[in-house]
Amino acid sequence: MRNTEINRNRRRTVNSRGMVMVEPLPNLEPYRHGSESTLKWECVFMLPAWLSVWWTHFGRRTETSLFVVKHGEEIYGIAPLVLNGETARLVSDSDLIDYSDFITAPSKNKAFFEILFSHLRQEGITRVDIPRVRSDSSAVSCLNTYSSALACHVSCSPVDMLYEMALPDTWEAYLGLLTGTERHEIRRKIRRLEGAGNVGLRVIENLKDVSHEMDTFIKLFRSNRPEKAEFMSSAVESFFRTLAREMAEAGLLKLFLLDLNGMPVAAVMCFDYDSTFYLYNNGYDRQFTHLSVGLLSKVFSVQEGIKRGRKKYNFLRGSEEYKGRLGGRPVRLLHCEVNLR
């Protein structure tokens, strides 16, 4: 994006603590790769490659803006917010964004919120709504620790959970982390699948292969269950296809296709970011339910993460039983409200 485009529609306010620039959400990309940036992008859903696709397809319905907090030339953080009356809501989507967070520089959280909240109060905002955020988020910790200093009241309550796990160095070490029953079941299911024919796992990550293979993913997703077919509307399909292309171009896509005798029977869409595999969505052919292809496609993606030296596997939001069985540990997602009065 050219600088003339980046600067368009910027609004700036300055107070004694620092500066807040309000910009259109598409301006996010330069802050990710700018040489002066010290921001820590902890949340995969706040990455420009992800968030820009969501905004293009669904975010235009509301006025979503970037609130860029600076002190001099140093960027303390960014808050993608939707303003509605006296409420500022951190960008979210109940169906497509598992959780969100603020984008901040390490050790600058308190100063970031001081400057941001001062600006929001000047704009008549009395409440900040954070629909879903990890309970171990540094932002949540900061808000709870410094609520008095920030002159605000913070209330958080559990709203959902995700499952994630640390990945060991080897496949056998991973199996050793599971219960004896689950370890036996995985091995048995793999043997049964291999006994049914030639099994192969393809990993699609290059941009040139994505469009064609997304046809397979969408087909398997829709054939999985009636409610998934209903979810995959034409608008959501367009979002998924664009998301796959943009994440592949950014080097963040891992689309796993499980083949049996040369035919794709299951697919898993993962994001590969910060040494973590994120399981975003999946689908499988119900004709092969008896071979557990849905579960095994996820197991094989875990195995691939170990082979590639990744440190974590995040099953993302939802409390489906298989996530715990495969080694995931729960992390609470919180709904937080910040009263600025």
pLDDT tens digits along 47-73: 999 999 999 999 777 778 999 999 988
**Where are the chain's structural domains?**
3-159+333-339, 168-310
Indicate the fold that domain 168-310 takes in CATH: Aminopeptidase (3.40.630)
What does DSSP assign to residue 149?
A: T
- Tell me which residues of the chain have a pLDDT lower than 70: 1-16, 35-36
Kindly provide the residue ranges of all beta strands, DSSP E only, lying in 146-289, ordered along the sequence.
Answer: 153-166, 199-204, 253-260, 263-273, 276-284
pLDDT at 35: 55
Q: How many CA atoms lie within 13 A of 151 on its CB side?
A: 11
pLDDT at 4: 31
Q: Do domains 3-159+333-339 and 168-310 have the same CATH topology?
A: yes
Q: Based on the number of CB atoms within 10 Å of its own CB, is 146 exposed (0-12), middle (13-18) or buried (19 or more)?
A: middle
pLDDT at 60: 75
- Report the length, in residues, of the chain: 341
Q: What is the pTM of this model?
A: 0.92
| Other CB atoms within 10 A of residue 198 CB | 9
Q: How far apart are CA 286 and CA 103, in angstroms?
A: 40
Q: Which CATH number fits domain 3-159+333-339: 3.40.630, 1.10.3470, 3.40.50, 3.90.550?
A: 3.40.630
Q: Based on the number of CB atoms within 10 Å of its own CB, is 301 exposed (0-12), middle (13-18) or buried (19 or more)?
A: buried
Could you tell me the two tokens for 25? 């959400």
Could you tell me the two tokens for 164? 């994630």
pLDDT at 6: 38
Q: What share of the chain is helix, strand, coil (3-state, %, to 5)?
A: 40, 35, 25
